[in-house]
Amino acid sequence: MEPVPNIAPFIGYVYPNETVVPWTVLIVVYPYLTGLVAGAFTVSSLYQVFGMQRFKPVAHLALLTSLCCMLVVPTPLLLHLGHPERALNAMITPHTTSAFAIFGYAASFYVLLLLLENWFVFRPHIVREAQRTNGALRLFYRVLSFGSDDLSEKAMRYDRKWIFALAVIGIPAAHGLHGYVGFVFGSLKSREWWSSDLMPAIFLFSAIISGTALVIVIYVISCRLRKEAVDLPCLKGMAYTLWGFMMFTLLLEGVEFASLVYRGREGTEMILEFVKGPLIVPFVILQFGIGSAMPLVVLTLMIWRGIGGKMLIAGVFVSACLVLLAVLMMRWNVIIGGQEISKTGKGLLTYTPTFLGREGLLVAASVIAAPFVLLSIMVRIFPPWSHAIRAP
């Protein structure tokens, strides 16, 4: 047998079996990715459903980003499973009482929805390319058009109806999928750090801010690469969205932590010791200090002072990068943190991820990078830039 990975040293008393950490850095990546999916979809819906025209430049980019992230979501889970070849057991014979049994269905439904909405959004491009190009590329686009090459005003109206409907269904689907990920953790009564009714809501709001931040980062970088000017009203709109939802997120996180401490149930002393000790850097400094307080101050200043131009772009971009870090740290602090507090309530463990190996940092980083590699290919096949998709 290979040496057992993830053995965690401990202080105090922990149950002997707890010294092997069950959920590793891959399970940190999984909710991070689903969060990005839900958040990016929200940005896209602000245009598609709520008709906010200022988000038009990023609407399709956000939708494509959402799809690319969603396609990678099952990967960290499959890599984590002891028997990935049996993964479908959960769909063939779903155990009805399990919070996790529905994942396969929910994820499949959402992937289907995203594929369909993307197809409608990029159909004009697909049809035009099928007529314009030659050879293999022509065949590729022709197959992708599914024989639907009608771009008349009537057909486009029909398409728009579908895009609207899919986006409307997509909002509860995306948010449900992510809120449900929060439920997977929040519903476990065995861990005080997880067991909270607010967990689904916290996961959801942090998802929205991470997705919005991701769209900001990708949009600014793509403008740079394509040597195009950043649409400032659009960027400002995303900054407002980020700022607003950050308020909700921080409030919920604050309320959750306060009620945990205030209730002071058994094991709370250990949790406080944990927060004041090993969690100072990842929780207090990275997640709240650098990741949340700093971007909040920067964004507030930007909005308050009405800053524009390059300063606005730089400020919002840096804030978005910090928010992406904060949400990653939030996932880490919830998932790893929860397992570092012993179920005995009398001990603390220390999980240190390995670099190599199936559940190591290298694999986790690759899984996080995969959607963006995929996206960089996708934007070449389906350009999401606003001028590329116009009705004929």
Partner 1 sequence: MTETRNKSADARRGFLRLLGGVVACAGAAAAGKVAVRPDEAAAEPSTVTPPAIPGYDWTKHRWAFGVDASKCIGCLRCVEACKRENEVIGDAHHFRTWVERYVYLEGEETPRVDSHSDPVNIEASGSEHEYRFANRYKDAKVEKAYFVPKLCNHCTHPACVQVCPTGATYRTDDGVVVIDHKYCIGCQYCVQACPYGARFFNEEKQVTDKCTWCYHRITKGLQPACVVVCPVGARIFGDLRDKQSSMSQFIRNNRTRVLKPESGNAPNVYYVGLDKDVF
Q: Which residues bind partner 1 (CB under 8 A)?
A: 1-2, 4, 7, 13-20, 22-23, 77, 80-84, 86-87, 89-90, 93-103, 105-106, 108-109, 112-113, 116, 146-150, 152, 154-155, 158, 162, 184, 188-191, 339, 343-346
The nearest distance, CB 256 to partner 1, in angstroms, is 19
Decide: 297 and 246 in contact? Cβ < 8 Å.
Answer: no
Please choose, from the candidates 219, 254, 221, the residue with its C-alpha nearest in 3D space to the C-alpha of residue 235. 219
The nearest distance, CB 57 to partner 1, in angstroms, is 28
Decide: 10 and 19 in contact? Cβ < 8 Å.
Answer: yes
Comparison of 196 and 241: residue with beta carbon closer to partner 1: 196
Comparison of 110 and 245: residue with beta carbon closer to partner 1: 110
The nearest distance, CB 112 to partner 1, in angstroms, is 6
Burial (CB < 10 A; 0-12, 13-18, 19+), residue 94, is: middle
Comparison of 24 and 44: residue with beta carbon closer to partner 1: 24
Neighbours of 2 (CB within 10 A): 6
Residue by residue, DSSP assigns 262-292 as HH--TTHHHHHHHHHTTTIIIIIIIIIIIII
The nearest distance, CB 97 to partner 1, in angstroms, is 5
Comparison of 50 and 146: residue with beta carbon closer to partner 1: 146
The nearest distance, CB 324 to partner 1, in angstroms, is 27
Comparison of 55 and 185: residue with beta carbon closer to partner 1: 185
Comparison of 60 and 123: residue with beta carbon closer to partner 1: 123
Give the tokens for residue 159.
């398409």
The nearest distance, CB 236 to partner 1, in angstroms, is 36
Please choose, from the candidates 279, 281, 266, 274, the residue with its C-alpha nearest in 3D space to the C-alpha of residue 344. 266
Helix (H) or strand (E) holding 239: helix 232-263
Comparison of 150 and 228: residue with beta carbon closer to partner 1: 150
Amino acid at 223: C
Residue by residue, DSSP assigns 140-154 as HHHHHTTT----SHH
User: 229-233 long-range CB contacts below 8 Å, 24 or more apart?
Assistant: 230/313, 231/54, 231/57, 232/308, 232/309, 232/312, 232/313, 233/54
The nearest distance, CB 361 to partner 1, in angstroms, is 19
Residue 379 sits at the vertex; the CA angle it makes with 376 and 382, to the nearest 5 degrees, is 150
Comparison of 44 and 339: residue with beta carbon closer to partner 1: 339
* CA-CA-CA-CA torsion sign (255, 258, 264, 266): positive
* Rounded Cα distance, 292 and 302, in Å: 15
The nearest distance, CB 119 to partner 1, in angstroms, is 10
* Rounded Cα distance, 279 and 295, in Å: 21
* Rounded Cα distance, 106 and 63, in Å: 18
The nearest distance, CB 17 to partner 1, in angstroms, is 4
* CA-CA-CA-CA torsion sign (78, 80, 86, 88): negative
Comparison of 32 and 317: residue with beta carbon closer to partner 1: 32
Comparison of 75 and 210: residue with beta carbon closer to partner 1: 75
The nearest distance, CB 345 to partner 1, in angstroms, is 6
